[in-house]
Amino acid sequence: MILLYHNVFPDVEYQKRTKSRIAISRSAFERQVLWIKKHFRIVTLDEYVQHLDKGGKTPRNLISITFDDGIRSTFENVHSFLSKYKIPSTMFVTTYHLDSGNLLYFTYFYTLCYESEYPSINVDDRVYPLSKMSERITACFKLSTAARNCGDPIKFAQELQQHYPVQKVNSFLYEGMTSYQVKQAAQAGFMEIGAHTVHHPYLSQLEYPDQLIEISRGKETLETICGKPISFFAFPSGDYNKASLNIMEAVKFKAACAVIPKGLGGQAAFELERIGIYSPSILKLQLKIVLYHLKLRKLGFRFG
């Protein structure tokens, strides 16, 4: 199975944001990985794909660890630990926020809602208070939903940012990696760099030419930085369509990671299933692994 992590925060910062729904603390991440290492064989995504059979299955004892988005603080909090234990992983990097200090549209929402620069925000004549953690969670969810439903989440966030700019000092947990860090990861020998588009759009909302630009330019940028081919891709937000799969083949990716595969046909390697890990609990991690091996997703259970 393939595990999906997003944000890994320093312990102190995590304690301030215990409800941030896609983050776990550094110490929790390390405990989880050491438990996984004890009970499974952790392999690179490249080796994982080599073990795929025609039905898209791999041996039950294999686990591959992946990270989405290319967040600088995540890289800084996992790199030395993974290096110490020589634990392979794949970091899927979105290129728009590399070096620039730019925020992706959803990391802007996280900064706006969780970092408390404003006591409230007004969006489309609806006021969202941000004083309590429960209010921040609700506001972030509502903004993310509205952004997706409008069909252009990037434009939605850019327009909102004109009214509610955020200070750099408050966005440090959500900024992108530097080019040096990407190159450092690619040369480390235990971490692979994968592509994750330029702006992190919902690919199914884009026509084929726009998808191709997002996917191919992200890949080309990373190849220039790393000095070698980028073979793996992860669909932003697990969203894709048939056109996305055609592009995977056209630009010569070896494999692509979804979250819940849609079964659109073609190569199984282009719709790899992943399990999202969003809790510091080892018990919940174990439960997700059990549910995965019981194939309960195919029976309609929604998890990860």
Region 79-84: what's the mean pLDDT? Answer: 95
pLDDT in tens, 227-268: 999 999 999 999 999 999 999 999 999 999 999 999 897 788
Whether 217 and 277 map to the same domain: the answer is yes
The letter for the amino acid at 163 is: H
What pLDDT, on the 0 to 100 scale, is given for residue 241? 96
Query: Mean per-residue pLDDT for 4-26?
Result: 83
Check whether residue 50 and residue 188 sit in a common domain.
Answer: yes
Domain harbouring 194, CATH code: 3.20.20.370
Looking at the structure, tell me whether residues 115 and 162 fall in a common domain: yes
Whether residues 291 and 196 fall in one domain:
yes
Question: In this structure, are 209 and 241 located in the same domain?
Answer: yes
Q: Is residue 17 part of a domain?
A: yes
pLDDT of 267 reads 84
Residue 158's closest CA among 224, 104, 215?
Answer: 104
Same domain as 109, residue 93:
no
Say if residue 257 is in the same domain as residue 231: yes
Given 145, 170, 195, the domain boundary residue is 170
Task: Examine the domain organization and report whether 224 and 166 are in the same domain.
Answer: no
217 and 291 within one domain: yes
Token pair, residue 58, equals 């791999």
- Look at residue 201 and tell me if it is in a domain: yes
Query: Which pLDDT does position 189 carry in this prediction?
Result: 84
Of 146, 170, 194, the domain-final residue? 170
SS3 readout for 210-271: HHHHHHHHHHHHHHHHHCCCCCEEECHHHCCCHHHHHHHHHCCCCEEECCCCCCCCCCHHHC
d(CA 171, CA 20): 14
Does residue 38 fall inside a structural domain?
yes
Half-sphere exposure of 290 (CA within 13 A, CB side): 6
Number of domains in the chain: 2
With respect to residue 49, please indicate whether it lies within any of the assigned structural domains: yes
pLDDT at 101: 85
Q: Is residue 150 part of a domain?
A: yes
User: Does a structural domain hold residue 176?
Assistant: no
Query: What pLDDT sits at residue 170?
Result: 84
The predicted-structure confidence for 87-133, as pLDDT tens digits, reads as follows 999 999 999 999 988 999 999 999 999 887 899 999 989 999 999 98
In this structure, the number of other CB atoms found within 10 A of the CB of residue 66 comes to 22
Containing domain of residue 241, as a range? 2-99+182-299
Distance CA 103, CA 110 (A): 10
86 and 112 both lie in a single domain: no
Q: Are residues 65 and 141 in the same domain?
A: no
Q: Is residue 304 part of a domain?
A: no
Q: pLDDT > 70: what percent of the chain?
A: 95
Q: Is the pLDDT assigned to residue 26 strictly greater than 70?
A: yes
Q: What is the mean pLDDT of the chain?
A: 92
Q: Look at residue 294 in the predicted model and tell me its pLDDT.
A: 77
The answer to whether residue 188 scores a pLDDT higher than 90 is no
In Å, what is the CA distance from 127 to each residue of 109, 116, 120, 124?
15, 15, 7, 8
Residue 8, strand partner residues: 24
Task: Identify the residue with better confidence: 68 or 55.
Answer: 68
Tokens at residue 207, please? 């026509």
Question: What pTM value is reported for the model?
Answer: 0.94
Residue 79 reports pLDDT greater than 80: yes
Q: Give me the pLDDT at residue 17, please.
A: 66
Shared-domain flag, residues 15 and 162: no
82, pLDDT greater than 70: yes
Question: Is the pLDDT assigned to residue 150 strictly greater than 70?
Answer: yes
67 burial (CB, 10 Å; 0-12 / 13-18 / 19+) is: buried
The answer to whether residue 30 scores a pLDDT higher than 60 is yes
User: What would the mean pLDDT of 152-177 be, rounded to a whole number?
Assistant: 93
pLDDT for residue 152 = 95
* Boundary (domain end) residue, out of 170, 201, 216: 170
Judge whether 33 lies within some domain.
yes
